[in-house]
Chains A and B, each alone.
Chain A
């Protein structure tokens, strides 16, 4: 039973690894948004300390929207 579980997880992770664009794309998008903040507003550390925590959450939400489509969809095509 445990071996079966292990095999199932192994193959799921292998599939995920083989279509890395599916999860790399949202991650890259997240990093880009975060790094644009200092450029868009100002590199002032004090201002960024108050702004960035909220910005991280918003960026994470946008990035996760990108991957919503593939959550159930992927199973049928891979």
Chain B
């Protein structure tokens, strides 16, 4: 991967319900680094991640990817990142396999290692079950399977560890670690401790 990969936020601000949630949030991230966003409930962690994923636009400030503002190349930018939020981004009426096939097709990616990823995430038994009948943890694992199947440079994960069991949390953290070693970048939030063998930057959000 390209080692000039660079992700930067300059003085970001976000307004929700007519009041400033946060302002003047800046950070910069290089290949192989992880940004851990911390803050109390309602501090704006998820809102910040939505801004970074290009789903919402900031009230002030700039987000740069490869030295280019993401608003100028939104379509290309979205093809470089994985965003997994609280709602998992899966269709509840589709089975695990169908969801992943759809995700792969939408990113124009041919996937050959589907069964490996499914067995690693212990979704073998459920692969032909509609995701609406799965437990919260299994839904989360279905969403996370995208990380294993479709390679992208930037991962934006909103509390990826919630509702996962200890074993799966470990699998995910190992996966994040190898993603970073391969020159990827990751922005995540977590209320659990994140023990990683990698460069971790911390960003603490406090309410204005």
Contact = CB atoms under 8 A, between A and B. Distances in A.
Interface of A: 3-4, 7-8, 11, 14-15, 18-19, 77-78
Contacts of B93: 14-15, 18-19, 78
B46 interface: no
| Residue in A3, A8, A11, A18 whose Cβ sees the most chain B Cβ within 10 Å | A11
Contact of B92 (A7, A8, A78): A78
Interface of B: 91-94, 98, 101-102, 105-106, 108, 130, 132
B27 to A, nearest CB: 32
A11 B130 CA distance: 13
21 contacts: A3-B105, A4-B105, A4-B106, A4-B108, A7-B101, A7-B102, A8-B106, A11-B91, A11-B94, A11-B98, A11-B102, A14-B93, A14-B94, A14-B98, A18-B93, A18-B130, A19-B93, A78-B91, A78-B92, A78-B93, A78-B132
Contacts of B132: 78
Contacts of A11: 91, 94, 98, 102
Nearest to B104: A7
Contacts of A18: 93, 130
A15 B90 CA distance: 13
A7 B105 contact: yes
Contacts of B91: 11, 15, 78
Contacts of A19: 93
Contacts of B98: 11, 14
A25 B91 CA distance: 23
Contacts of A14: 93-94, 98
Contacts of B94: 11, 14-15
Nearest to B108: A4
A71 B93 CA distance: 16
A8 B105 CA distance: 8
A4 B94 CA distance: 17
B142 to A, nearest CB: 15
Nearest to B106: A4
B159 to A, nearest CB: 20
Nearest to A1: B108
A77 B106 CA distance: 20
Nearest to A3: B105
A44 to B, nearest CB: 47
Contacts of A15: 91, 93-94
